[in-house]
Amino acid sequence: MSTASHPNTEPLTSGTELQSDSGQTYQIEEVLADRRKPLLCVYRASAERRNYIVKNMIKGDFDYQLSLQKSLSALPNVRKVIDTVKDLGMLIYPLLSGDLFHLSQKNLSEKTRRYILQKALQGLADMHDKDVLHNDIKPNNILVDYEERPEDGIAIKTVQISDLENAVIVPPGKWLAGSLCGNAIWRSPESWCRSRQNQASDVFSFGIVV
């Protein structure tokens, strides 16, 4: 079993241990997303019988991302950073059991689907109240913690907006311009045109999700 202590150019392997800035030891269980040049991997890790998500940040972007995401930590419908490994440029989050993309393939009741969308929209509205533009709204980034019960079907525990790596602060009256943000399927027209984008662009993407 190895311990990671310096920035890597290759993904971490299963069994690697991470010593976080809080002193917690996390063990890498599997690579969920393997992206390189730059190294932007996503891992499932465990600590004290609980599962977590560990994400690489773009080099030089760690402090900005941590500051921005910490500023949203009081929002119940936005995923929170719970730990860090600064030397490796990693943020650590709780692992939720699913997301809207995969959950929508199940036979959801209209009431359940409406509830998920309402909570997700509340998270997005709370972000916008803090002048944050998400820039990557899509079903995969609406996390849902749930359990399946024989007696009453799917029970929703938590709904949270995730994946804030493209998020930026856009104050009222200001714009983000020149950027091609988000996933092609859910992208707003102004993003496609690399034109002026603001929180309304997120609302357009959310409308496609609905």
Which pLDDT band, with edges at 50, 70 and 90, does 121 fall under? very high
pLDDT in tens, 124-165: 999 999 999 999 999 999 999 999 888 768 899 999 999 999
Name the residues annotated as catalytic. Answer: 136
Question: What mean pLDDT comes out for the span 93-111?
Answer: 93
Domains of the chain (ranges plus CATH)?
A: 16-94 (3.30.200.20), 98-209 (1.10.510.10)
pTM, two decimal places:
0.91
**Residue 161: predicted pLDDT:** 99
User: What span, in angstroms and rounded, lies between the C-alpha atoms of 109 and 113?
Assistant: 6
Which residue has better confidence, 38 or 175? Answer: 175
Provide the mean pLDDT of the chain: 93
Q: Where are the beta strands (DSSP E) in the chain?
A: 3-4, 17-19, 25-33, 42-47, 50-56, 83-85, 90-94, 98-99, 132-133, 142-149, 153-161, 168-169
